[in-house]
């Protein structure tokens, strides 16, 4: 049985990935700072949870040892320059070094569709720098670049459905930004397919796969869909960018989990759709699911529990 280290295995995409790898017969190690956060993986007998700080280079080196492959899913959507550098770039550098030291060549790295060293947001630029760190290491590397990811536990469509249950209208910055939403199950399937393929020769360039669904939709379209299949569809009021940035700044200053930031708005200045320059999920024999097919099921359940 092959073994794989999954960084970020307790998260939204990570849990689905562990499910797929479990069914495919992999032995899986999931590090986490607090074992309690991995409770939802408890039913997977092939998963071993290890308490560790993956940002500690020595700990990461020990974690990588003895595995046949590594999957990196660790990312943040909000933060300052230092936080993005720490999470997306420094970790990638430490991971590349650990893989080299331990002789683990196979790595699947989940990046982002908008990754670009000259992108308008800190998020996009740091994602690109992280990719570069891994590409330069000479590993057998697959880079997956998903658009916005949806699924039963997402913090995207579920969030907009909940907001529409609370407010009479939806003031929305970046309303015309375009996305190509991809189902979390398809992203997890893609990771498993990448790990299953034969190893490539030393020196082979990294493969880049754009993980997108079949639907191109504006943010306003997606908000309306969330309301329609969730609690209630509200009128969307597009905000001018200046007012939208003020709204985002207020959300940055609010206590609790951040919903929006100015950096998010900067990311939306570039459409989050497939470029056509790289293969997509069909290259892995995956027919991507439509948001119109999947989302009504879980948003409808949420609506039912809120009534």
User: Strand 3-7 vs strand 27-32: parallel, antiparallel, or unpaired?
Assistant: parallel
Taking a C-beta distance cutoff of 8 angstroms, is the pair 291, 181 a contact?
Answer: yes
Count of helices and strands (H, E) across the chain: 11, 13
Per-residue pLDDT of the chain (307 residues; tens, 9 = 90+): 699 999 999 999 999 999 999 999 999 999 999 988 999 998 999 999 999 999 999 999 999 999 999 999 999 999 999 999 999 999 999 999 999 999 999 999 999 999 999 999 999 999 999 999 999 999 999 999 999 999 999 999 999 999 899 899 999 999 999 999 999 999 999 999 999 999 888 888 999 999 999 999 999 999 999 999 987 899 999 999 889 889 888 888 877 777 789 999 999 999 999 999 999 999 999 999 999 999 999 998 755 554 4
Q: For residues 211 and 126, what is the distance between their CA atoms, to the nearest angstrom?
A: 19
**Bridge partners of residue 48, in order along the sequence:** 29
How do the domains of the chain map onto residue ranges? Answer: 3-152+180-213+273-287
Nearest-angstrom CA–CA distance, 266 and 174: 9
Is it true that domain 3-152+180-213+273-287 has CATH number 3.30.420.40? Answer: no
What predicted TM-score, i.e. pTM, was given to this entire model?
0.95
Q: Say which residues have a Cβ less than 8 Å from residue 63's Cβ, sequence separation at least 6.
A: 5, 29, 31, 50, 52, 54, 98
User: How many angstroms separate the CA atoms of 123 and 270, rounded?
Assistant: 12
């Amino acid at each position: 049985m092959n073994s794989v280290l999954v960084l970020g295995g307790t998260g939204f995409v990570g849990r689905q990935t562990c499910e797929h790898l479990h069914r495919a017969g992999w032995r899986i190690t999931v590090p986490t700072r607090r074992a309690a956060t991995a409770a939802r993986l408890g039913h997977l007998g092939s998963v071993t949870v290890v308490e560790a700080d993956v940002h500690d280079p020595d700990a990461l080196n020990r974690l990588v040892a003895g595995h046949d492959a590594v999957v990196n899913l660790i990312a943040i959507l909000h933060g300052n320059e230092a936080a993005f550098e720490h999470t997306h770039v420094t970790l990638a550098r430490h991971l590349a070094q650990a893989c080299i030291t331990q002789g683990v060549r196979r790595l699947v790295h989940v990046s982002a569709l908008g990754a670009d060293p000259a992108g308008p947001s800190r998020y996009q630029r740091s994602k690109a720098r992280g990719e570069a760190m891994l590409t330069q290491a000479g590993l057998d590397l697959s880079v997956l670049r998903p658009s916005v990811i949806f699924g039963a536990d997402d913090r995207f469509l579920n969030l907009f459905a909940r907001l529409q249950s609370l407010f009479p209208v939806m003031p929305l910055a970046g309303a015309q930004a375009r996305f190509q939403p991809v189902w979390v199950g398809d992203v997890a399937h893609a990771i498993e397919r990448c790990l299953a393929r034969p190893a490539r020769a030393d020196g082979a360039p990294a493969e880049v796969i754009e993980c997108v669904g079949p639907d191109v939709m504006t943010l306003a379209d997606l908000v309306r869909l969330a309301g329609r299949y969730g609690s209630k569809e509200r009128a969307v009021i597009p905000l001018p960018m200046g007012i939208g940035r003020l709204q985002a700044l207020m959300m940055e200053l609010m206590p609790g989990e951040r919903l929006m930031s100015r950096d998010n708005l900067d990311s939306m200045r570039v459409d989050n759709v497939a470029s056509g320059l790289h293969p997509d999920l069909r290259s892995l024999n995956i027919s991507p699911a439509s948001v119109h097919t999947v989302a009504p099921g879980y948003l409808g359940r949420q609506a039912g529990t809120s009534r």
